[in-house]
Amino acid sequence: MLTTEKAATAVDIQIRFLDSAAGAPEGLCEAVAAVTADAYAAGDPVPGLPVADGARERAADVRADLAAGHGLWVASLDGATAGAVRAVVRPDGDWEVRRLAVSPRVRHAGLGRLLLRRLEAAAAAAGARRVVLDAVVERGNPAFYARVGFRTVRHFGAADKPLSEVHMVRDPSAPPEPGRPCAPVGDGRAVSWWAAPDGTLCRTGAPLPEGPEEGLLGIDVLPGTAAARWPEAEAALAARADRRTGDGLFFAGPAARIAAFAQPRLVHPGLLAWWRAPAARAPRP
């Protein structure tokens, strides 16, 4: 099935919905794959992260999802494909967000939010109680999803890459009030990262701030039972620092260029990136 609707915006945005490969216009799967690959390739806030799966998207992947009956929403801006999102209905009835992508040329125009709202409206109409997704913390994704109404309920390490992920949920029938990008630390051991003159400060013993503060760039956590291995993680961080100061461990350079900040699980496999501030993003070339 193919349906098309126009969004009520100042620019000409059309959103198409498909749930079968048979209804896809010629070239659409190729266009969706190209936008998805571009979006994921350009999306990392820090250099050196493992290549995102979406950066390798192919038209065959889009066709396979449609053949499996997964919903696909495609946004066109002035006639050109500019974004897309897919939904998978899970056995428990939850709708899972997959491959949300917006072309780098039209980022920050609200297109990602608009695509999600279309997906959520369909989920609510189908009687779904939850829309869910997994987001990579090191890539900065949870902050966006929190702004559009999702809340984090669980942190975990990715199985196939040394990255940290969160599981986020949202009631599709509820108003899109800002959610939380990370869960409480609980009984874990935490690391906080701060902007400092000529570098970045890593504090391993100080109490965590109750919320975002000026200069706070990120938080890492060794959660739950893994906290017993804290001495190993702290020693590994100290070995990578340029020097120890009265305030903590000093690393020369901005946080985005510090490997221990960019991928804490390479410092210690149990150390999860818990939260990242937009200010930690590396400047775009």
111, two tokens: 């297109």
The pTM of this model reads: 0.90
- One domain, residues 127 and 195: no
Residues 256 and 223 in one domain: yes
Residues 166 and 216 in one domain: no
- Tell me the residue range of the domain where 48 lies: 2-170
- Token pair, residue 241, equals 């620092």
Residues 6+ apart with CB under 8 A from 65: 72, 86, 88, 98
The mean pLDDT value for 150-172 works out to 97
In terms of domains, do 275 and 219 share one? yes
73 and 28 within one domain: yes
Distance of CA 283 to the CA centre of its chain: 18
How does residue 34 score in pLDDT terms, banded at 50, 70 and 90?
Answer: very high
pLDDT band at 4 (very low <50, low <70, confident <90, very high): low
Residue 269 has pLDDT above 60, yes or no: yes
Closest CA to 121 of 84, 95, 153: 95
pLDDT band at 8 (very low <50, low <70, confident <90, very high): very low
Which of the listed residues 142, 170, 198 is the one where a domain comes to its end?
170
- Cα(71)–Cα(270) distance, integer angstroms: 35
pLDDT of res. 188: 84
Distance CA 232, CA 222 (A): 11
For the stretch 57-74, pLDDT in tens is 999 999 999 999 999 999
How confident is the model at residue 281, as a pLDDT? 80
231, pLDDT greater than 70: yes
Domain count, the chain: 2
Which residues lie closer than 8 Å to 133 by C-beta, 6 or more apart?
A: 96, 97, 98, 145, 150, 167, 168
Q: At what angle do helices 28-41 and 59-67 cross, to 10 degrees?
A: 120
pLDDT bucket at 2, cuts 50 / 70 / 90: very low
Instruction: Pick the last residue of a domain from 139, 170, 201.
Output: 170
Let me know how many helices (H) and strands (E) the chain has, helices first: 7, 14
Asked whether residue 250 carries a pLDDT value surpassing 90, the answer given is yes
Where would I find the beta strands (DSSP E) of the chain?
A: 2-6, 13-18, 71-77, 80-89, 95-102, 131-136, 151-157, 164-170, 189-196, 199-203, 216-222, 243-244, 249-252, 272-276
219 shares its domain with 266? yes
Q: What is the pLDDT of residue 283?
A: 62
Whether 272 and 166 share a structural domain: no
The residue to which tokens 């009984």 are assigned: 187
